Amino acid sequence: MWGFHNPVRICFGVGAFDSVSNLINRRPYCLATYDQPYFVRLGTELADKAGKPEAVINNITPNPDFLTLADSCQTFAQAVTSDTVIIALGGGSVIDTAKVLASSDQGFAPVRRFLETGEDEEHLAAYPIIAVPTTAGTGSEVTHWATVWDREAQKKYSLARYALYPRHAVIDPALTLAMPKDLTINTALDALSHALESLWNRNSNPVSANHAVFAATEMIAALPLLVDDLKNVALRARVAGACLFAGLAFSNTKTALAHSVSYPITLKYSIPHGLACSFSLPMVLASVIGENTECDRNLRRIFGDDLDSAATELENFLNRLGVATKASSYGIQSDEWKELVTAALAGERGRNFIGTSERVLEKFTA
């Protein structure tokens, strides 16, 4: 038996940003975005059509942390009304922050308690979110969880609540034209990881697998072309579409081993998330081939019939993008790498992985 569910209404296409004011529909809104000129301009365009926001939360940095989230939630709590809608305009960190805000009309403390203990969810709010991603990678616009970091304690949490599925995801590939090369690559590789990890996953199902196969195939084909032509809106649309379908895939399966091992790497070495969760993909792929007939069948749809060469093909793809695929390239020594992998296998996301620890440790080399 299997099932698939995703309640997010999706609007996709060049010019889709113009629809956001209609979705707000004269309601009071809070704008969560970055404090950068490009996003200030987009916010002004939105305000010209939808009116001035009740509050602007723009203290958002990569990998939202307890400290900045506490400030953001305080600002939101002072401005929110019962019919407020949150507009998340930016990358994954913005959308994750918006999900924390949506849970918090009494400051950050109740959200923090829920993250740390899993208790008192009934005390959390559930404000509606309209997600407008300006990167192509996170997939957060179609999931019901947010990644939250406590850097002081060196911990990563997942804020997971059904109420946090955005009501609408508005994906306008033209908004991603401002992304520089490195950010384009890193975010796209996060999406590729979402797609592949939803295949070698205990929660995989036929619908998620079809989404994942399309996403991975399209990303592998389109991303190298986009890297050489960053202002090509048609290629931006292909990569954004791949990201969306990867998001739909892992919205039902969650991620697996590559993501599990990435979190401590990002915390300790400040390696961007998309890079930290993708450089190990060839090693994971090499370790999982032959473990599950259905997974192998889907991997053949991406890499062709010769799965023996699939890991090398994926490694070459990453190398062409300038991504090293050995842990030692990121300053991680052999003993530490083995410890990280062992801990990752035992973690929540690692337990989603269909492979065996013996084969993983055999294929994972620093």
Query: Do residues 31 and 44 both lie within one domain?
Result: yes
Q: What is the pLDDT of residues 149-195, one digit of tens each?
A: 999 999 999 999 999 999 999 999 999 999 999 999 999 999 999 99
Query: Do residues 67 and 204 both lie within one domain?
Result: no
Rounded to whole angstroms, the Cα distance separating 253 from 70 reads: 30
In a domain, 1, yes or no: no
Query: Do residues 265 and 344 both lie within one domain?
Result: yes
For strands 155-160 and 145-150, give the pairing. antiparallel
In a domain, 56, yes or no: yes
Where does the pLDDT of residue 253 fall: very low under 50, low under 70, confident under 90, or very high at 90 and above?
Answer: very high
Rounded to whole angstroms, the Cα distance separating 36 from 344 reads: 35
Query: Do residues 14 and 163 both lie within one domain?
Result: yes
Query: Do residues 358 and 225 both lie within one domain?
Result: yes
Give me the residues paired with residue 169 across strands.
Answer: 10, 131
What is each CA distance from 209 to 81, 198, 252, 294, in whole angstroms?
Answer: 40, 7, 10, 10
**Is pLDDT at 235 greater than 80 in this prediction?**
yes
SS (H, E, C) 8-59: CEEEECCCHHHHHHHHHCCCCEEEECECCHHHHHHHHHHHHHHCCCCEEECE
Range of the domain at 238: 179-363
Where does the pLDDT of residue 366 fall: very low under 50, low under 70, confident under 90, or very high at 90 and above?
Answer: confident
User: What domain count does the chain have?
Assistant: 2
pLDDT at residue 92, as a whole number: 96
pLDDT at residue 97, as a whole number: 98
Query: Do residues 203 and 168 both lie within one domain?
Result: no
Query: Do residues 204 and 126 both lie within one domain?
Result: no
Q: What is the pLDDT of residues 65-77, one digit of tens each?
A: 999 999 999 999 9
Contact 353, 200 (CB under 8 A): yes
In a domain, 4, yes or no: no
Contact 275, 294 (CB under 8 A): no
In a domain, 3, yes or no: no
Query: Do residues 113 and 167 both lie within one domain?
Result: yes
Query: Do residues 205 and 137 both lie within one domain?
Result: no
Q: What is the pLDDT of residues 26-69, one digit of tens each?
A: 999 999 999 999 999 999 999 999 999 999 999 999 999 999 99
Contact 88, 142 (CB under 8 A): no
Query: Do residues 156 and 284 both lie within one domain?
Result: no
Read off the pTM.
0.96
**Is pLDDT at 364 greater than 90 in this prediction?**
no
Contact 178, 41 (CB under 8 A): no
Return the half-sphere exposure (C-beta side, CA atoms, 13 A cut-off) of residue 231.
0
Contact 286, 352 (CB under 8 A): no
What is the SS3 assignment for 352? Answer: helix
CATH code (residue 61): 3.40.50.1970
What is each CA distance from 88 to 66, 73, 91, in whole angstroms?
Answer: 19, 14, 9
Rounded to whole angstroms, the Cα distance separating 79 from 308 reads: 57
Query: Do residues 29 and 74 both lie within one domain?
Result: yes
